[in-house]
Structure 1
Amino acid sequence: MRGRLTSPALAPALALFSLTLFTPQAFGQAATDGATTNTTTAEAGSENYTAAFFAQYTPQNAYDMVQRLPGFMFDEGESARGFGGTAGNVLIDGARPTSKSGGLVEALRRIPAAQVERIELQRGAFAAGEAAGQSVVANVVRFKDKSSGTWALEMRRVGNNKILPMVDATFTTNIGAWDTSFQLDTFLLSTNRDAVISKRDATGALTSRTTEDRQEEERFGALSFDAGRDAFGGRLQLNGRLKFFRWAGDTKRRNRGLGELDGPTLDRFDNRHVEEEYGGELGADWSRTYASGWKWRLIGLGTYEQETNTDDFSFKMPVSTLLELGNIHEVEKETETILRTTFGQTEGNIKPEFGIEGAFNRLDTSIEIAIEDGAGQPTEVLPKNTVRVQEVRAEAFGNLVWQASSKLTADAGLKAEVSRISTRGGNAQTFKFLKPSAGLTYTVSDHLRLGLKAERSVGQLDFSDFAASADAIDDRVFAGNPDLRPDRTDRLEAKIDYTFGERGAISTTLFYEWKDDVLERTILESGGEALANIGSAKRWGLNANANLPLDFMLKGGLLEVDVYLKESDFLDPITGKTRRIHDFVPSEFYIDFRHDIPNSNWAWGLEYNSTHNWHGYFIDEFEEFSPKANYNAFVETTQFFGVKTTLLFYDITGGEYNRMRHFYDPNRGGVKVGTALSERRRDMGIKLVISGQF
């Protein structure tokens, strides 16, 4: 099982963790000598990192730079419930970007590295509102009145698939009184996957083997911008985004019976799935800071997204005789409108903030199913079925950050939410939630910080679960459930942050969660399988991350280790037994090694991603998805033509992804009737990236 403490592959990583705790000088001494030239401490708990610190990594944009901050684990936040759901831990010029669909990653990638004056790393609770509840916050400070840009060209090939380009470009400049930045992101991708599906009966005897070939192609394009200027006595910031995405997959299955895998075909199944997405976003953010230190902020945000999924499939037995022909067509159109205002103090030891937020969400979804036999006679027909779900939500909130002393910071917040979810011609439900939070951060020394945090959060429903859906590949049909309620989570966590030298850091978080109104699949009164709120669950674990400089043994070496050990507990109403929650990965870990060769323009590295297990629970089926461990390697240089060139080899040993399905009758509480093991494999991939700045 991925990431177990007893795993031999994990032992070296944990040994390094332990060694660092007792001998931090070994990892940090060599790097400390030049620390003051690249990093200066502005005040207790605050560190400034200038461009000189990041030069050895040749970053192209602010996102690359944030990824290299010592002791900092990037959190892009969540866009769960409105704009204030959960803030990320990166600010841009002291403010949280006003964006949902592109997210914090895209906002940072729009900023060329040459545009970054410095990155301020604040350890301890930050000002209320902008990143409330985060114990470590990075603030990207940009140069003003400066034009710059980046470009990147990527070529990727997987196995014998055709080589297709990816283009990414950003540009930042002043247009009149506006400070603007633009980003164009595109890619074309062609991949394939082979699999052998082995089916067995209840006794374990092999009943058939099927070969599967899937050819996949992806197309993506996004254009985004932000523009800011002084206006109305404050600062006005606009942002927008347009995107297009298309995924097409052709799946061909050939049943070989008990014969050889290249033997005669007994029956064949073909499916073409096409997914297309269009979306747009427009946001406005105005803020003004008064002489008293109070800051007023107004935010408006609107998003639109349309997704279309089409399946065309056929089944023939023998291979020339058509037995079934079908089509499934699903369309979703989703809109969200958010208005938010806040008023908070930015100076002093006590920083309160108050605000209100209103949101209106709507989803229109439709599904059509038409299946006929080989003679053209309908066997299953679902005429176009349209469902509309809409939500009106209002929230009032208050946050407070208190700098009790130079070592102790406390933060607390309370949100009161009222929402009403209704379906056209169906049910309407009203919900009321109180969502408190509280945290403490204690600075033991310049290198060691401790944190405690408790909070209640409310999940965001996926409105598509209110309507019926179908999966042709796995032969699953799900009913809609208009009676869904948001789930609730109470979380308690303890965190330790330890830094040493210029680049060394260890961060460990222990957490425990109590979840109510858990969303799991069950049988409705109508007899259909659907998502429903069916009980409570617990979830707990440990997240540990470390940056370990290796200068004491290899000058310029850096080892990054991420370990996630998790477990969950849920009483299954179908079996009456305790199990993990659906869509859960218990344990995983990652090890990245990078060596920037001293006095050269070259770097190389290795990456290791552990195996792990995904668990899925359906009415009459239990599914395990187990990607095998994979290895990546890269070589990087700025030696040629003044540009950055990276050659990456991924899935070096071949990507292996095993999927096991266990079938029961009449449900998982009944008798096991068989299994289907799909042994999937992808070829090694090669990626060449050439990038530069101007």
Structure 2
Amino acid sequence: MSDRVSYAPTYFQQYNPLTAADMVNQLPGFNLIEESGDRGFGQGQGNLLINGKRPSTKSNKPEELLKRIAAETVVRIEVLREGSSELSGQSGLIANVITDSESSLSGSYLAGVYFHEEGMVRPEARLSIGGNIDNFSYNVDLSLDVWKHEESGKENVRDADFNLTQIRAEQRNVHNRTPKLNINLGWNGDNGDVANLSLQAFYFKHNFHETSDQFMAQGMVTSNLLRMIETRSGEDEYTYEIGGDYTTDFAGGSLKFIGLRRREDSRFFTHYDDTAEDGSFFRYNSRRQPIESETILRTLYTTEPTTGHVLEWAIEGAFNTLDTTATFQEDTGSGFEDVLLSGSNTRVEERRAESSLLYVLPLGKKLRFQTSVAVEYSELSVSGNNNNTRSYVRPKGFAALTFDATAETQFRGRIDRKVGQLNFFDFASRRDISQGQTDSGNTELVPEQLWRFEMTAEHRFSPKNVTTLTVYYETFEDYNMLVPLAGGGQGIGNVDGAKNKGITLTSTWMLDSLGVNGGKLDFAGTYQDSEIKDPFTGIFRHFDWQEQWQIEITFRQDIQDTNWAWGLNYWDNTELPGYRKDRVNKGPFGPTYFAYVEHKDVLGMTLTAKYYNAFGRTMQYNREFFAPDRLGNFDGGEFRSLRRGGYFNIQLAGKF
């Protein structure tokens, strides 16, 4: 069996792709990995290579990288089935997009607008330009993403006997805007040396507005109005990332240097106004100003001692920081007064060093083995209200086996030892006034560790019809979750004994044999189940807010001998409840779906019209309270049902 499946541009011709993203999205049986959650660079993020090289970036998602590559510059796309030394930690399928290094100026553009049922209108736009000049390549990408939605409905409040005590008219609006600039530069030396530089800068603006008019249980009329609550919150975020790499031949192998610097500067605010019908009120203001930074340097040496044998040695250093300051104010009638929240002003620093050794060993024509042994040293220091410094050494690594049972069937097995990435915000105390909850910072928090056992079976019924089944089992140490803290508070802490298992099925089927000429059906589904001992009650339960199952079905038909295509998409999931000391929070949030029609040649451009959630989408959010905690009795609850209307999108995209 070949170690790769190659797809020429003609394979994608019926889809009239404008960018490499349009092509990769049509690869049978392949799904991009958007986020790995790995610390630093590690031995490979995601499952995407561009011209055989891993992107030296973390903030750019694979989909975004591919949208910057014009389809006409793609020579072929390879699906690597036995890994790559560039992503040595990835033993599953890898997409390698090969582009034409001789192409001159090319690019793509997109302009669109969304029309919401509630009357909102939001634009979208993207312009990408790239090319090559001698040994240099360049790409400049500008984009504007705008997201808006409005939800409205009611919330019923019930007491301990489940009697209706209040009815609340609820409405919330969300408005996000993200202008983004990306610049990528490349150089290929005559001696085989390769260098890349990427720069990203973007501004994220988030605004949230919620109103709640609360009435007595008799009904929502003016005479029954009890109080009006208005919440406004938002964020202004400025982020930049600079990443680069340099590769050169060295001692019979390849020596590569990778560096990255990222900084995120944010400003959060909340204004809360609770005014009762009798004129009394409670007002609350909060502001947080976190600054996050990440600096990574990685060096790796890769060599092939004999044919098929690959040896990689790597060292990596990282310095991560979080500085956060916060102010809280309350007004009950005498003007705003400062409120102190211990642990809310914090600086967190992590200094981390890692060394790894990887070896790839072919065991005959059908069997391939790769293994990695790594060790990580980390020093965490927290300063502010609760100073603390500690360090630890953690082993990690993996062993993976690939077996080509037949020309069509491949089995992949893998055992991983991983160290998780901490959320530095969990070290700082925070307060959410609209949810009525305060979480204390925990300076004793350490990264979780896990063993993951995975088995995958892939069968290619034909080059276009592929089905993949994966089962996995995970066991955790120091699992991060909400726990009781000293002094009666609660915050993120570490718990041992967590377990999780699951199964994932993906399948791609071309439907010509069923009489649906030009038709294609993609299916992706997953189910998982977890177990952990509740730190508040001692009773075994699932993880907080775990996605128990998810399903996505996509149908597309390119009508033969025409420029028309149409399709349908359906996505749904079940998210299990989240638990606090005296509360259970529940969904569900309802499915999403859309239908679209596409014309591939409108004055040389592609025109697409989509209708999302034609019948609306209903989100339910319920909170059940217990006294004095969840070992006690049910003490009432809030049961909210909000509807989000459908929306229509029209896009015009082209290339040059």
- Unaligned regions of 5+ residues in structure 2, if any? none
Q: Which of 510, 513, 516 is equivalent to 1:552?
A: 513
Maintained 8 Å contact 1:456/1:489: yes
1:38-69 alpha-carbon deviations (Å, 9 max, x no partner): xxxxx713221111111111222112211111
1:435 corresponds in structure 2 to 396
Maintained 8 Å contact 1:77/1:89: no
CA distance in 2, matches of 1:434, 1:377: 51
2:422 corresponds in structure 1 to 461
The amino acid of 1:128's aligned partner reads S
Moved more, 402-411 or 256-265: 256-265
CA distance in 2, matches of 1:630, 1:461: 31
1:36 corresponds in structure 2 to none
TM-score w.r.t. the length of structure 1 is 0.91
1:329 aligns with 2:287: yes
2:623 corresponds in structure 1 to 661
1:394 corresponds in structure 2 to 353
CA distance in 2, matches of 1:85, 1:424: 31
Question: Relative to 1, partners in 2 of residues 1:108 and 1:291: Cα closer, same or farther, differing over 3 Å?
Answer: farther
1:282 aligns with 2:242: yes
1:527 aligns with 2:488: yes
Q: Which of 575, 590, 596 is equivalent to 2:537?
A: 575
CA distance in 2, matches of 1:232, 1:210: 70
1:22 corresponds in structure 2 to none
CA distance in 2, matches of 1:550, 1:385: 57
Could you tell me how far 1:134 is from its partner in structure 2? 2.2
Q: Which of 131, 134, 142 is equivalent to 1:173?
A: 131
CA distance in 2, matches of 1:395, 1:295: 20
CA distance in 1, matches of 2:364, 2:246: 32
1:238 corresponds in structure 2 to 197
Maintained 8 Å contact 1:156/1:189: no
Could you tell me how far 1:526 is from its partner in structure 2? 2.3
The amino acid of 1:141's aligned partner reads I
1:187-245 alpha-carbon deviations (Å, 9 max, x no partner): 23332111311111122111111011112211111101111113595111101100101
Aligned length: 649
Question: Relative to 1, partners in 2 of residues 1:57 and 1:670: Cα closer, same or farther, differing over 3 Å?
Answer: same
Could you tell me how far 1:375 is from its partner in structure 2? 3.5
Q: Which of 314, 324, 329 is equivalent to 1:355?
A: 314
The amino acid of 1:492's aligned partner reads F
Maintained 8 Å contact 1:158/1:685: yes
Could you tell me how far 1:176 is from its partner in structure 2? 5.9
CA distance in 2, matches of 1:383, 1:276: 25
Could you tell me how far 1:335 is from its partner in structure 2? 0.7
Partner secondary structure for residue 577 of structure 2:
strand
1:311 corresponds in structure 2 to 270
CA distance in 2, matches of 1:230, 1:639: 36
CA distance in 1, matches of 2:376, 2:571: 40
Which structure is richer in relative contact order (CA contacts within 8 A, separation 6 or more)?
A: 1
Maintained 8 Å contact 2:484/2:536: no
1:87-117 alpha-carbon deviations (Å, 9 max, x no partner): 2111011111000112323222211111211
Maintained 8 Å contact 1:161/1:190: no
Could you tell me how far 1:615 is from its partner in structure 2? 2.1
Could you tell me how far 1:277 is from its partner in structure 2? 1.1
The amino acid of 1:304's aligned partner reads R
1:54 corresponds in structure 2 to 12
Could you tell me how far 1:382 is from its partner in structure 2? 4.7
1:239-638 equivalence runs, <5 A: 239-261=198-220, 263-264=222-223, 265-289=225-249, 292=252, 294-318=253-277, 321-345=279-303, 348-376=307-335, 378=337, 380-382=339-341, 385-424=344-383, 426-553=387-514, 554-638=516-600
The amino acid of 2:237's aligned partner reads E
- Unaligned regions of 5+ residues in structure 1, if any? 1-42
Maintained 8 Å contact 2:412/2:456: yes
1:518-564 alpha-carbon deviations (Å, 9 max, x no partner): 11112211222211112221000100001011112211111111111
1:149-168 equivalence runs, <5 A: 149-168=107-126
Could you tell me how far 1:680 is from its partner in structure 2? 1.3
Question: Relative to 1, partners in 2 of residues 1:503 and 1:221: Cα closer, same or farther, differing over 3 Å?
Answer: same
The amino acid of 2:443's aligned partner reads P
RMSD over aligned Cα atoms: 1.8
Maintained 8 Å contact 2:548/2:573: no
CA distance in 1, matches of 2:364, 2:381: 48
CA distance in 2, matches of 1:632, 1:181: 32
Could you tell me how far 1:379 is from its partner in structure 2? 8.3
1:138 aligns with 2:95: yes
Maintained 8 Å contact 2:153/2:643: yes
1:554-575 alpha-carbon deviations (Å, 9 max, x no partner): 1111111111111000111211
Q: Which of 684, 688, 691 is equivalent to 2:646?
A: 684
2:183 corresponds in structure 1 to 225
1:38 corresponds in structure 2 to none
Could you tell me how far 1:284 is from its partner in structure 2? 1.5
CA distance in 2, matches of 1:663, 1:430: 39
2:85 corresponds in structure 1 to 128
1:394-448 alpha-carbon deviations (Å, 9 max, x no partner): 0000111122222111111111000000012511111111102001111112211
CA distance in 2, matches of 1:566, 1:596: 35
Could you tell me how far 1:132 is from its partner in structure 2? 2.7
Partner secondary structure for residue 101 of structure 2:
coil
The amino acid of 2:234's aligned partner reads V
Maintained 8 Å contact 1:597/1:603: yes
Maintained 8 Å contact 2:178/2:203: yes
Could you tell me how far 1:79 is from its partner in structure 2? 4.8
Q: Which of 52, 67, 72 is equivalent to 1:94?
A: 52
CA distance in 1, matches of 2:32, 2:115: 29
The amino acid of 2:521's aligned partner reads L
Maintained 8 Å contact 1:79/1:85: no
Q: Which of 604, 609, 627 is equivalent to 1:642?
A: 604
CA distance in 1, matches of 2:583, 2:170: 21
Q: Which of 27, 48, 66 is equivalent to 1:69?
A: 27
TM-score w.r.t. the length of structure 2 is 0.96
Could you tell me how far 1:182 is from its partner in structure 2? 1.4
Partner secondary structure for residue 256 of structure 1:
strand
Moved more, 303-312 or 155-164: 155-164
> Percent same amino acid at aligned positions?
28
